[in-house]
Structures are given as C-alpha cells and as structure tokens.
Amino acid sequence: MNMKEYIDEAESALLHTYNRYQIVWDKGDGMYLYDIEGKKYLDFVAGIAVFALGYNNKAYNDALKAQIDKVIHTSNYYYNIPAIEAAKKLKKISGMDRVFFTNSGAEAVEGALKAARKYAFLQDGHTDHEIIAMNHSFHGRTFGALSVTGNPHYREAFEPMIGNVKFADFNDFESVRAQVTDKTCAVIFETVQGEGGIYPTEEAFMRQVRALCDERDILLILDEIQCGMGRTGTMYAWQRYGVKPDIMTSAKAVGCGVPVGAFMMTERVAQHSLTSGDHGTTYGGNPLACAAVSKVIDLFEELDILKNVNETGAYLYEKLDALAAKYDFIRAHRGVGLMQGLECEGAVGDVINRAVEKGLLLINAGTNIIRFIPPLIVSKADVDDMIGIVDACFAEMEGSCIGTRKMDET
Ligand SMILES: *Cc1c(COP(=O)(O)O)cnc(C)c1O
C-alpha cells in the first residue's frame, strides 16, 4: 500500500481525535525519522519529548530484547528485578524516597493527586480538601489530570471535573496565596509549563510557594513529565531551584518510548498517605517497562546526556535568539536546556507545515508558539541544520501573513 492508502485506512479505523500530518512512519535512526516512501526528516519533536536517546539506540534495543526473552509481564502481586533496579535508579536521580510506576503521565498525575488527598485525610479526617492548580497548565487527559489542567478548551465538554480544584496564575505568588484555605491539601504545577507555552517557573515563585506549603502543611506536587529526565540540563528541572517537591511526576522520556511513568514522594508523605489497597495498576512497573527505565538511566550516564543538554541547549538558545532578532513577527524566545519556544505574532501552523515539507519536524505549544524539544543527543550540527530550514521558512513567509491556520493542541 502507498502512503495515501494507509492514511485512508487509518482514517476509517482510528477514532479521529487528532488532525495528523500526512506521514506514515517506517523507522527511526538517531535524530532522523523515515517515512514509508524513504523521505528523511530531522526530528525536533522526539515523539513529544519522549525519545531522549534518539531512535534505534542499540544498547536500549538490546536491553528490551533481552527482557522480552525472559518475561514481559508478571503482576504487582510479586516482585521483579527490573522494577527494583529502576526504582533504585529513579530514587538516585530524583532524590525522592518512594516510587510508584504507572503506564502514562496522566496516571502519574492521578496517583499524585490521590496521595495528596489521602495525606490530608489522615491529618484531619475530612473529605473536602482543595487542590490549587495553575492557569494554562497541562497535566493530562484523564478526569483527575484534566481537573487540574488550567485550560477550559480541554475540559469544557467533559464537566463536571473532580471537585475542589482552584486555579491561580502561574508565577504569581499572591494569586496562589489568595486561594489557600484551611482545606488546601496540595499545590500542583509544571516546573516548566510545556503545552501552555514553554514558561519556566520563576525562582522567587518556587521559593515562595515552597515556604507557603511548609508553613501550612500543604504538599507541593511538581509535574516533571515533559521538563524532567534531563531536558532542562538537570535530571529533574526542580533540582536547579534549591527546593524539593513532596510529590513529583515523571513520564515521557523516562522510558524513551515504552509507555511508562511514575510518581514519587518523600518518605514523610509515603508514611502518611497511600498504603496497601489504596492504589494499584495491572501493568504499572512491569518488567519490560522497567527494563527500559533502568537502561535509559544507565545510558544517560554513559552518554553524558546532561553535558550535551547544557552545551547544545546553550547553542540552541543563541541561534534562536538570533532568529528572534531577525524577524519582526517573533515576539519572544523562552526556555531552558533543550526545551525552548519561539512565540510568534500569529498561528505557527504554516511555518510548521513548511518545515515538514523541507524534512524538519517541529511542534507547536498552543497556537502561537513553536516548540523545540529534540532528542537529547542532538548535536550543534543538527541545530545548524534545523535553524537553516526554519530560517528559510520564515524568509518565505516574510511579508505574507504569518498565522492563518489554527493549530490543534496536543
Ligand atoms: C504529556 C504531559 C502529561 C500527560 O502525559 P500522558 O503520558 O500523555 O498521559 C502530563 N503533564 C505534562 C506536563 C505533560 O507534558
């Protein structure tokens, strides 16, 4: 079958919840994906911040194959060695004390919210606790995660959400403080807002919210699903702030392609929240997923991924700054490490479509922002190639009206 035929079949079988690019993938290698007609694309999307190690890493593939030949799934009623290894390594890179494995990011958020409610319940026996979340946040598509997602567009048709969630403005401490009551059990935000437009947490905000949480015995939950696993130059983005969350979430790059996530907590929260029978999952922490997590963390060290993120991230910053200076329709450039965004005057769909034509994959964040989230193995030469293509797309569009096509949100 040719590409068009596959796409027609897809559109008659899959539920239409995405407006997909007209591409059917065949395989990946390093920084590149290949479609079934053999066209090669430089990838600055990485499966939405998932494929940190690039495609087809041999050591990663071999570790998965070896685990497949042993056992793929058992059950959480027993122990398995990959889960033990992966949990130990996650503790080490995060500094947290207890790990619960999930199958996705949204499920990690669900678990974090349940842990916070249980913690508060054990403190005062009440069942009316409140959670403070941020406007423009994104935490996933399940009901709990959606309930703390501060974007009405994702929620509207699915109301009512879980109760007692209040929204504050991100990076505005007074707005958070104004929402605190005796019932507040948790504050949740992304250390760097991803879908909301690549907004890093400001240092003062992080410190002030942490202090407020300490003072009122409120749990701080940081969502590191997109910005974690080295993407900003530290294993977890919060580690550069000199504070620590009580509960955190991780997913996306933590398995580098195998569906897996985790929520983690400090010992203090672990001792006073979820216990036997409170939470569970059939697949979560299965040997195959955990073999992936374990190998990913080893490879981060072996390949010195953080060093590359810091060096190539700085280089990317410089190059995007230069583009922002060159074109009037670029309003702002933000981000940290290999998580950066260019905010444009209008919708960025046309730019991204042109880039795809020229063999470069980019993704938006909201309507107006081009997001740059490449595999963490990206080189300066790859950045140069990417910048060359984006520059060419911008040049073609100069004078014409940028921003006619409304983008989907992920
Ligand atoms: C992607 C994402 C999620 C949801 O993860 P899924 O694996 O898609 O459920 C949650 N929070 C953040 C910050 C994300 O970027």
The pLDDT score that the predictor gives to residue 402 is 59
pLDDT at 17 over 90: yes
* Averaged pLDDT score across all residues of the chain: 96
Exposure string (b/e) for 179-216, b if CB count within 10 Å is 16 or more?
Answer: bbeeebbbbbbbbbbbbbbbbbbeeebbeebbebbeee
Residue 407: predicted pLDDT: 47
Ligand 1 contact via 373 beta carbon (within 6 Å): no
**H/E run at residue 332:** strand 330-336
Cα–ligand 1 centroid distance for 330 (angstroms): 27
Q: How far is the CA of 68 from the centre of ligand 1 (A)?
A: 27
* Distance (Å, whole) CA 349 – CA 235: 31
Alpha helices, DSSP H, located in 178-332: 203-216, 267-271, 287-302, 305-326
Which atom of ligand 1 sits closest to the CA of residue 193?
Answer: 13
Report the distance separating Cα 181 and Cα 168, nearest Å. Answer: 13
Confidence of residue 404 (pLDDT cuts 50, 70, 90): very low
Question: For 48-84, how does the pLDDT look when each residue is reduced to its tens digit (9 = 90+)?
Answer: 999 999 999 999 999 999 999 999 999 999 999 999 9
236-267 pLDDT tens trace: 999 999 999 999 999 999 999 999 999 999 99
Sort 114 into a burial class: Cβ within 10 Å, 0-12 / 13-18 / 19+: middle
pLDDT (tens digit per residue) in 310-329: 999 999 999 999 999 999 99
The CATH class for the domain spanning 71-302 reads: alpha beta
How confident is the model at residue 137, as a pLDDT? 98
Beta bridge partners of 280: none
For residue 401, the model assigns a pLDDT of 52
Write out the two tokens for 4. 């068009």
Cα 397 to averaged position of ligand 1 atoms, centre (Å)? 32
User: Whole-model pTM above 0.85?
Assistant: yes
> Residue 368 in contact with residue 344, Cβ under 8 Å?
yes
d(CA 135, CA 222): 15
223 close to ligand 1 (CB < 6 Angstrom): yes
Backbone angles phi, psi at 360, to 5 degrees: -130, 130
Q: What percent of the chain has pLDDT over 70?
A: 97
User: Which whole number is the average pLDDT over 157-163?
Assistant: 96
What's residue 408's pLDDT?
Answer: 52
What's the CATH class of domain 3-57+304-409? alpha beta
CB count within 10 Å of CB 3 equals 14
pLDDT at 400: 63
Residue 55 pairs in a beta bridge with 30
Once rounded to an integer, what is the mean pLDDT over residues 385-402? 87
Q: Where are the domains of the chain?
A: 3-57+304-409, 71-302
